[in-house]
Structure 1
Amino acid sequence: MHNFIFYIFLVWLSCLSDLTVMCYKIPEVKLDVLPNGFRVSIPHEAGITSVIYNIEINEQCPLIYDLITAQRGNFWISEQNARKLYVNDEIKINVVVQHNDNIFARTDIIDIFQNFELTYETVKNGDQPVDACDFDAWNENAGNVDNIDKRSITKVILKNQQSSKLYEPNELIFEENFNTLNNSIWSYDLYMHSNAIGDGSEEFTKFTNDENHISVQNGSLWIAPKISPKRRKEAFRITGCSAPACYKNRKETCIYEKKRNRFYMFPPPVDSAKINTANVFSFTYGRIEVSAKLPEGDWLIPYIMLQPDQPNCSIRKQLRIAYATAKDLEKSRIRGGPVILYAAPNPTRPKVNFFERTSHMVFQTGVKPNEYHNYTMVWTSKQIAMYVDGTKYGCIPNNGEYTESYHIVLGVSAGGHLEYKHITSKPWINGVNSAVKQFQESFTECCARFGAEGECTDEKCLRKKKGKKYCTQEEMYYVKKICSKPWGLHAPMEINYVRVYAV
């Protein structure tokens, strides 16, 4: 109930508006850390008459609430001089803007790292007027899954043919209990991510069907990422490779060989697995439930999501049923909802797109890691609602963006820049040629030899003479590296079942 006053006022403001769509978008909230406090602000724009800030620090009460009715120096500023911020603090900022006759809302999470370096993550973009669904998303008494709008008609696609059957609400339309891995339902993704051609956006992963990375154990699907033993000079070809739809003519996704025209001259440092129901089962609108234990480890990325049957190479959409980084799990936090990847020109390689991510995910805290939870998404023509263990934690309006058929995707990946923005404590630099190598060496080299956490120093020989086995002390130089924690017993993702119901 700690957001009650904030949202009562927000509802009051919404009653003053007709919620017609306007060309306004709340920009990212700026946070300035002060000696004994902090300041948040957004720039002024013609039409803004009031701004509300609702600020939560480290998920603790009391929240900071501030109604601003006048701009200062072309900014809408809330200054807090009695609340000092510290390294490792997490600040969640809800901002509501009245712009002309419309209300817009935005949510950002800002993390403070060493040397007060800030990283921003957008939980909700403020690019659309507030929808009634957004109010419902914050209503702690929103009710259970059965209270969701059932006016959408579920459509089922079986082996690329639409089923003529009319499904009743709550009727089971798909079930997988993983007594075995049924190859008539699930297809393996067998390829390397496209970083090799200069995309630079994707993860550092090679997907395989090796049972060391994917298998069924004790009634659960088990997907285990591992650091690859392959090194720079070791050429290889992926057997049975299925290049992604948008890279059908790029052999770099199927073959690794060291060549100068290869953007990353290093093989993918992670071996893992990913499966899907494309060409077998997909649907439009429904309730999908997944019982899963999310993978836990530095830089891991779980895939428990839906993807469109018809790929768009410029706008790639995902409906994430459950998502969490290692940092999320440390804070007992999970996320769910839509993610869109937008293609943009790559300034260094004009013929190759570079992707940026927009997230509409909502999140829930208090979710224990290393345990099975029921993750549920209810997708209708009006909204996408998220649940964990039967508790609703948010919803996102469906404004016609998610109306086509989607199939199920399960897997584990790692690294990349879309999920992990640049911070100095990250072992690789986004977009550089050596990023994959930096990632791999954060788990190996001196990081592995000394068991270091945080940093280690690697010795290198300044010059190598033919036939010379050792370097003198004068010929040595030292390279400092940022280390990643080795993946442990909780790195594999485990899934008990997947069930889809009509709405």
Structure 2
Amino acid sequence: MWGKTLLSFCCFLFLLISNYDGVLTFKISDVDLEIFRDSGFEVSIPDEPGLQRVFYMFQIDDLCPALMDYITKAVNGSWVSKQKACIQNNDKVHISLLVQYNDQIYEKTETRVIINTRLLTTKNSKSRNIQFPSGDSECQAILSPQKASKKCLPSQTIVNSGRQVCQGDLIFEDNFSGMNLNRSAWKHDIRHRLYHVEEELVAFDDAPRNCFLKEGDLNIVPIMASDVTQGSFKLGDRCTAVESPEKECNIPQGSYYSIKPPVFSAQIHTRNSFSFKYGKIEVRAKLPKGDWLFPYIMLQPVSTYAETHYAKQLRIAFARGNAHLRTKQNEDISGNHLYGGMLIWNHGRAEQYLRDRLSQAHYGDDYHNYTMIWQRDKITLMVDEEIYGEIYDGLALFNEKCFIILGVTVGGFTNFNDEVLQKDVKPYKNTEPRAALSFWQNRDMWSSTWGKQSSMLVDYVRVYAD
């Protein structure tokens, strides 16, 4: 049942099996798991009148050898097993118990997932036998307290802290489970985008209405402005512009070519707190729905700022907000079409190395897991654990650590290229002098497609060493 065991346990196991009658009238308490830095872990269940013996078996990440321990006496009110095996980030620990209670035998199994040396999830089952990998030989079980530490496999990942990491280590995580955004990890962009070659019809701000946490999700909400022509637009000292403060922080009153931003949204980044080179990033998110909305889930080199233009980007995933949008060649580029890949600049022109996946449903209809595995010689793109593309070209241009960007913008020359769109599909043209004003004046064409579904909801962001 348990594979090869030590002879000293044979009599006990025989007793357990022979006494087991299948009637579960006693409920085993949940197992308490405590992790000690670099010195193993400890599991325990509380003592109760009638408890006689406890048999523990452990398996870490389905690896052999398994560990087991036979406890015949409670200590300080608990049935405790101490193990010297080290548990690392992202490990799964299977714990199985056989308990003798009033001469009857009860069994329980729990699975724990370890993230940042704390328990992320717990799965309980009433009855489960540990199954070991099939092969020519069974999994050898060893008795505590022999050490069975997990080997650290070298990783190509480099993190900004300079610490050495092992393959599979979780090196960044935000589950957005608090009351407020973690400002030590994330910083806001505060600037408008109504200028330069990538003109976007939006201003990013840190207003609570545009960015907040709710029910375990990061909410990034684009909101249409109430007016665009009256008064001037000044961000003052809050502005985070670097490249062109005079353009990104202010819009003069009465400017013929510019209006105040027609949409306010949010964009956050980890440039000041976390960056990495090579690794696996997972983002579980629900993308925004609404005409001319565009999500930013991407990485950007640390030598550039989130505020600058002509910045290379690793776009983890994007799908346009439009429910219906086709090119001149009748290609579907609506929100049913998912893309991921690279954007680089060549003499002022954007070049994209993309892979794509067409779905029957809009990617804003539900949550999906978007994954990019960034390696020296390849980028792998996945959605919901399925690979939909690999990129081999252009990787030499991303030879430094990158930080994470999350946001929702509106328009953009590259995001919605007039050259590929059918005529008169957009209520404005990218190259016309008063494009933003045309967009605003024709808001009846697009504002009805916006609503609660126009927010981007992010469940979590996780980065693993590769």
Q: Which amino acid aligns with 1:373?
A: H
Counterpart in the other structure of 1:190: 190
**What is the distance in 2 between the residues matched to 1:377 and 1:216?**
24
Task: Map 1:287-302 to 2 at 5 A.
Answer: 287-302=280-295
CA 1:416–1:186: 2 relative to 1, 3 Å: same
Counterpart in the other structure of 2:410: 414
**What is the distance in 2 between the residues matched to 1:214 and 1:383?**
34
- Asked whether the equivalents of residues 315 and 343 of structure 1 are also in contact (C-alpha less than 8 Å), the reply is no
Task: Map 1:216-231 to 2 at 5 A.
Answer: 216-231=213-228
Counterpart in the other structure of 2:366: 371
**TM-score under structure 1 length normalisation:** 0.55
- Asked whether the equivalents of residues 300 and 415 of structure 1 are also in contact (C-alpha less than 8 Å), the reply is yes
Shift of residue 486 of structure 1?
Answer: 3.5
**What is the distance in 2 between the residues matched to 1:413 and 1:204?**
8
**What is the distance in 2 between the residues matched to 1:291 and 1:329?**
22
Counterpart in the other structure of 2:248: 253
Aligned partner of 2:211 among 198, 211, 214: 214
Task: Map 1:325-404 to 2 at 5 A.
Answer: 325=320, 326=322, 327=325, 330=334, 332-342=336-346, 344=348, 356-366=349-359, 368=361, 369=363, 370-397=365-392, 398-404=394-400
**TM-score under structure 2 length normalisation:** 0.60
**What is the distance in 2 between the residues matched to 1:371 and 1:333?**
14
Counterpart in the other structure of 2:273: 280
Shift of residue 200 of structure 1?
Answer: 3.9
Task: Map 1:12-31 to 2 at 5 A.
Answer: none
* Runs of 5+ unmatched residues, structure 2: 1-152, 326-331
Counterpart in the other structure of 1:468: none
Cα deviations across residues 435-489 of structure 1 (Å, max 9, x unaligned)? 000111221xxx3xxxxx5xxxxxxxxxxxxxxxxxxxxxxxxxxxxx5644122
Cα deviations across residues 154-178 of structure 1 (Å, max 9, x unaligned)? 00014xxxx1x22111110000000
Cα deviations across residues 359-387 of structure 1 (Å, max 9, x unaligned)? 11111122743111000000011011100
CA 1:331–1:273: 2 relative to 1, 3 Å: closer
Cα deviations across residues 232-278 of structure 1 (Å, max 9, x unaligned)? 2321322543343322xx32211222255x7x321111100000001
- Asked whether the equivalents of residues 245 and 311 of structure 1 are also in contact (C-alpha less than 8 Å), the reply is no
**Residue 156 (str. 1) matches residue 153 (str. 2):** no
**What is the distance in 1 between the residues matched to 2:218 and 2:309?**
32
**What is the distance in 2 between the residues matched to 1:286 and 1:177?**
19
- Asked whether the equivalents of residues 194 and 261 of structure 2 are also in contact (C-alpha less than 8 Å), the reply is no
Aligned partner of 2:316 among 321, 324, 343: 321
**Residue 172 (str. 1) matches residue 165 (str. 2):** no
Q: Which amino acid aligns with 2:343?
A: V
Cα deviations across residues 170-218 of structure 1 (Å, max 9, x unaligned)? 11000000013101110000001151xxx24221110111111110010
CA 1:319–1:399: 2 relative to 1, 3 Å: closer
- Asked whether the equivalents of residues 258 and 265 of structure 1 are also in contact (C-alpha less than 8 Å), the reply is no
Q: Percent identity over the alignment?
A: 34
Shift of residue 343 of structure 1?
Answer: 5.0
**What is the distance in 1 between the residues matched to 2:243 and 2:346?**
13
**Residue 232 (str. 1) matches residue 259 (str. 2):** no
Counterpart in the other structure of 1:37: none
**What is the distance in 1 between the residues matched to 2:287 and 2:391?**
23
Shift of residue 402 of structure 1?
Answer: 1.3
CA 1:329–1:296: 2 relative to 1, 3 Å: farther
**What is the distance in 1 between the residues matched to 2:228 and 2:405?**
29
Task: Map 1:94-133 to 2 at 5 A.
Answer: none
- Asked whether the equivalents of residues 233 and 257 of structure 1 are also in contact (C-alpha less than 8 Å), the reply is no
Shift of residue 296 of structure 1?
Answer: 0.8
Task: Map 1:406-445 to 2 at 5 A.
Answer: 406-422=402-418, 423-443=423-443
**What is the distance in 1 between the residues matched to 2:371 and 2:173?**
14
Q: Which amino acid aligns with 1:409?
A: I
Q: Which amino acid aligns with 2:402?
A: Y
Residue correspondences, number: 294
Counterpart in the other structure of 2:303: 310
**What is the distance in 1 between the residues matched to 2:189 and 2:391?**
29
Shift of residue 419 of structure 1?
Answer: 1.3
Shift of residue 330 of structure 1?
Answer: 4.8
Shift of residue 342 of structure 1?
Answer: 4.1
Counterpart in the other structure of 1:494: 457
Shift of residue 492 of structure 1?
Answer: 0.3
- Asked whether the equivalents of residues 271 and 403 of structure 2 are also in contact (C-alpha less than 8 Å), the reply is yes
**What is the distance in 1 between the residues matched to 2:340 and 2:383?**
10
Q: Which amino acid aligns with 1:499?
A: R
* Runs of 5+ unmatched residues, structure 1: 1-149, 345-355, 448-452, 454-482
**What is the distance in 2 between the residues matched to 1:152 and 1:424?**
51
Counterpart in the other structure of 1:204: 201
**What is the distance in 2 between the residues matched to 1:367 and 1:382?**
32
Counterpart in the other structure of 1:479: none
- Asked whether the equivalents of residues 319 and 336 of structure 2 are also in contact (C-alpha less than 8 Å), the reply is no
CA 1:194–1:167: 2 relative to 1, 3 Å: same
- Asked whether the equivalents of residues 175 and 499 of structure 1 are also in contact (C-alpha less than 8 Å), the reply is yes
Shift of residue 400 of structure 1?
Answer: 1.1
Cα deviations across residues 389-420 of structure 1 (Å, max 9, x unaligned)? 00000011154111111000000000132211
